Amino acid sequence: MTRSSLFPGFDGLLTLSRREGVDIKPTLLRVLTDLYVQASAHSADEERQFVELASRLVDDVDDATRAAVRARLAIYPSTPIEILKKLGLRPVQHEAALPLAGPIPPSLRSPPSKAATRDDTASASLSMQPKDAAELSEMFLRASPNERIAILQNLATTPLKPAAPIPLHRAAHAIEALEMAAFNADVETFTTELGESLILPARMAIEVVNDPSGEPLACAAKALGMPAPVFERVLLFLKPEMGESVQTVFRLSRFYGRLSERAALIMLAAWRGSAMAAARAKHRPALYDDERQALRAGSARTGTQAPARPIVRTGTDGFKR
């Protein structure tokens, strides 16, 4: 299936839904819908991909999720006809000026049953595989700010296992060092300290700090337990181009206040798993006779045999015969 920039890495997340004990199909459908309704128009490829993905999920989710998605798509003017029919909806009259879908009303969010709560608690102990973590990390880092907000909001309710919180004494020391580095506009020291405190490889720490939009940095700070006033000072002093933009600082400050610690720790787990997947991809175990096996395989394909080495015999006096 051709990938659309609207849903980067989404097929990889679907593998989580197929794993026994981890059912995140409701979350995936909510994220998919949130991303789709945020744009007023879509290309043919984006519409086709939305129809394909949503059709695979809508029949397998609970009634509360289906009702919430149905409510959002019912008032969205660009909902594909196939999905409208699947949800039992009539096509929207395009002549009427209709607003884009807003947040899901709390009244549509049915509280989970006790049985469902027990199932979620049990499945929450399962960790993401490195490949799935890499897909989630890629999707988040490639997404727009609005798409990242939707992803993190839905991650907060998934059964995915978050990373363990950073110990308080270590987090306090790291926050103090990070604030000092930010005050001095020392991006290199800040990046190194952040990577070491969150146990992230240097490549991932650099990507988090250098992201121009700022949401990954907010996730990292929230996972570390950084107080909101300290995070605001980091935004003001770490990078002049960011600190001089009042709109950017205000937007990220509001985003940080609403960001769930659980969602931030799930993203931290995804970044760590992504680094593990990259390390596995680079590593290829080599056997002592790999070259000999490759030579035999090549000879078998061509119908020839490798030339045999001449047998050299030596006598008891050490001279070759």
Contact in structure between 135 and 13 (CB atoms under 8 Å): yes
Q: Is 308 left (phi over 0), alpha (psi -120 to 50) or beta?
A: beta
Q: Could you say which of 50, 80, 101 is where a domain stops?
A: 101
Q: Is residue 238 part of a domain?
A: yes
* Neighbour tally for 182: CB within 10 Å: 23
- Do residues 128 and 135 make contact, with C-beta atoms less than 8 angstroms apart? no
Same domain, 87 and 187: no
In a domain, 159, yes or no: no
Supply the pLDDT for residue 122.
40
Going by C-beta distance under 8 Å and a sequence separation of 6 or more, which residues neighbour residue 268?
162, 163, 198, 200, 219, 220, 223
Which pLDDT score, from 0 to 100, does residue 23 have?
66
Residue 314 is which amino acid?
Answer: T
> Is residue 27 assigned to a domain?
yes
In a domain, 119, yes or no: no
Residues 8 and 93 in one domain: yes
Which pLDDT does position 319 carry in this prediction? 53
Q: Is the dihedral of CA 78, 79, 82, 84 positive or negative?
A: negative
* Final residue before a domain boundary, out of 48, 67, 101: 101
HSE (CB half, 13 Å, CA atoms) of 152?
Answer: 29
What is the reported pLDDT for 313?
56
- How many domains does the chain contain in total? 2
Res 297: pLDDT: 52
**What distance in Å separates the CA atoms of residue 252 and residue 193, rounded to the nearest whole number?**
21
pLDDT for residue 221: 96
pLDDT at res. 97: 42
Q: Is residue 148 assigned to a domain?
A: no
In a domain, 291, yes or no: no
Look at the block and give the residue holding tokens 């490889």: 201
Q: pLDDT tens per residue, the chain (321 residues)?
A: 444 455 555 555 555 555 545 567 788 888 888 888 888 788 888 888 888 888 888 888 887 788 778 877 877 888 888 888 888 776 644 444 434 444 544 543 445 544 444 444 444 445 678 888 888 889 999 999 989 998 998 888 888 889 999 999 999 999 999 999 999 999 999 999 999 999 999 999 999 999 999 999 999 999 999 999 999 999 989 988 876 787 888 899 999 999 999 999 999 999 998 877 665 555 455 544 555 555 555 554 555 554 555 555 555 555 555
pLDDT of residue 156: 85
Alpha helices in the chain (DSSP H): 10-18, 25-37, 44-58, 63-74, 81-86, 114-123, 130-142, 145-155, 168-183, 187-198, 202-210, 215-224, 228-237, 240-243, 246-258, 261-282, 290-302
Cα gap 171→230, rounded to integer Å: 13
Q: How far is CA 311 from CA 4, 197, 289, 304, in A?
A: 62, 61, 20, 20
Last residue of a domain, one of 101, 127, 144: 101
Do residues 187 and 92 share a domain?
Answer: no
In a domain, 137, yes or no: no
pTM over 0.85: no
Give domain status of residue 198, yes or no.
yes
pLDDT at residue number 104? 47
C-alpha span between 126 and 60 (Å, rounded): 21
Rounded distance between C-alpha atoms, residue 220 and residue 216, angstroms = 6
User: Do the beta carbons of residue 139 and residue 75 sit within 8 Å?
Assistant: no
What the block records as the tokens of 70 is: 């149905």
C-alpha closest to that of 145 among 200, 217, 232: 217
Per the structure, the complete domain to which residue 34 belongs is given by 1-101
Nearest of 141, 261, 273, 152 to residue 201 by alpha carbon:
273
